[in-house]
Amino acid sequence: MNSEATTTEKKRDLKSLTKQELTTFLEGLGLASYRSDQVFQWLYQKGVSSFDEMTNLSKDLRAKLPELAEVRRLTIFNQQESKDGTIKFLFQLDDPNDYKVEAVLIPDFYPDGAANRLTVCVSSQVGCMFGCSFCATGKMGYFRNLTHGEIVDQVQIINEIAEERYGKKITNVVYMGMGEPLHNYKAVVESARILSDPMGIDLSPRRITVSTVGLTKQIKQLADEETGVNLAISLHAADDEKRNKIMPINESLNLEKLEEAVTYYFQKTEKPLTYEYLLFDEFNDTRRDALNLVKIARWVPSKVNIIMYNSVAGVTLKRAREERLNQFMKVLADKDVTATVRRSRGDDIDAGCGQLAIREGQKKGK
């Protein structure tokens, strides 16, 4: 190994440090703690990746920092834009393995064409180990967790593009890209704190949604953290038998355990939940399924998003037909369940999460 590589390995990637670790690291260099606030702002508010640009730091410090630390940043490897304005990005990680992750910008427009809500869907892991049968990422296998810096980078880079294109910042972030967010708990919570930090991206935590397939221990932990972010449960089937068939996690963490966890979550946070429910043709779209979903929606105050599925190569499950969707929605409405239909965005691009990465050659991991 050459000496240059050894030096690089020893450098600290500042965006892999928590705010507290950053303060400790900079204090170790003899800096006053207000300096770490300045560095934090350069990293996350201004998005710079060169120490030379951190102009309110002394010249001496700007010369010294590159010997000890570095600022890694994702780069855009590829992007696809849909007719509906959805843009899917494939990011290359600053990583020797050439790993890539996806993130999506989903714009909503006012009738006059101006941008209203600008939602960014971020990835939290390279691949995923949970193997849900309908999911392209699940077919890839698991490679590694993202750092909180790599999660924030996705938002930051897309935010810059949104500002250029629409003249406004992104308004919402959802953790619904590649990976199971609560399986990368520490980095996800830290990234959400940076996104909502006034010295970071300064997004209200009410505009941040973390989703999970139902990792019950982490749901309770999240309730205890008081982050203020929203929680969405990827439900996709409303009884154990069907959920076992499409989501292997349900075999160990079944609906009874999920009910206990979300009840704890609501008691602690008093925040309503969202259930995400992909409607599959003649699989989970019957009247019986709708009635089971009604029961789940009543565990704690909640709303339901019924999502129309984007087909994924090799998956036999298909998007439900319109008449079955309408019947399903009628049952929910008759039972006073708040439910919205989410039409898939970016149908004309590889919009199903993980599809773009698979197409670019990222296949089966550990």
Binding residues for [4Fe-4S] cluster: 128, 132, 135
Handedness of CA 38, 39, 43, 47 (dihedral sign): positive
Catalytically active residues are 102, 353
Closest separation in Å from C-beta 191 to ligand SF4: 17
Q: Which is nearer to ligand SF4, 184 or 269 (CB)?
A: 184
**Binding of ligand SF4 by 248 (CB under 6 A):** no
The answer to whether 309 and 275 are in contact (CB under 8 A) is no
Q: Largest alpha-carbon pair distance within the chain? A: 70
Out of 213, 262, 278, 296, which residue is the one contacting ligand SF4 (CB under 6 A)?
A: 213
Q: Which is nearer to ligand SF4, 26 or 140 (CB)?
A: 140
Binding pattern to ligand SF4, positions 169-188, x when CB under 6 A?
Answer: ---------xxx--------
The answer to whether 142 and 134 are in contact (CB under 8 A) is no
Q: Among 292, 291, 278, 273, which Cα is nearest to 325's? A: 278
What DSSP string runs through 171-228?
-EEEE-SSS-GGGGHHHHHHHHHHHH-TTTT---GGGEEEEES--HHHHHHHHHHT--
Q: Detail the residues annotated as belonging to a binding site.
A: 128, 132, 135, 179-180, 211, 234-236, 310
Q: Which stretch binds ligand SF4 (CB under 6 A): 41-49, 123-131, 202-210, 220-228?
A: 123-131
Closest separation in Å from C-beta 20 to ligand SF4: 29
Site size toward ligand SF4, by CB under 6 A: 12
Closest separation in Å from C-beta 333 to ligand SF4: 27
Closest separation in Å from C-beta 243 to ligand SF4: 12
Region 126-155 residues binding ligand SF4, contact defined as CB under 6 A: 128, 130-132, 135, 137-138
Structure tokens at 84: 């509906």
Contacts of 103 (CB under 8 A, 6+ apart): 88, 89, 91, 120, 121, 122, 123, 154, 155, 158, 177
**How far is it, in rounded angstroms, from Cα 81 to Cα 1?**
42
Q: Among 22, 11, 12, which Cα is nearest to 190's? A: 22
Q: Which is nearer to ligand SF4, 39 or 120 (CB)?
A: 120
Q: Return residues touching ligand SF4 (CB under 6 A).
A: 128, 130-132, 135, 137-138, 178-180, 213, 234
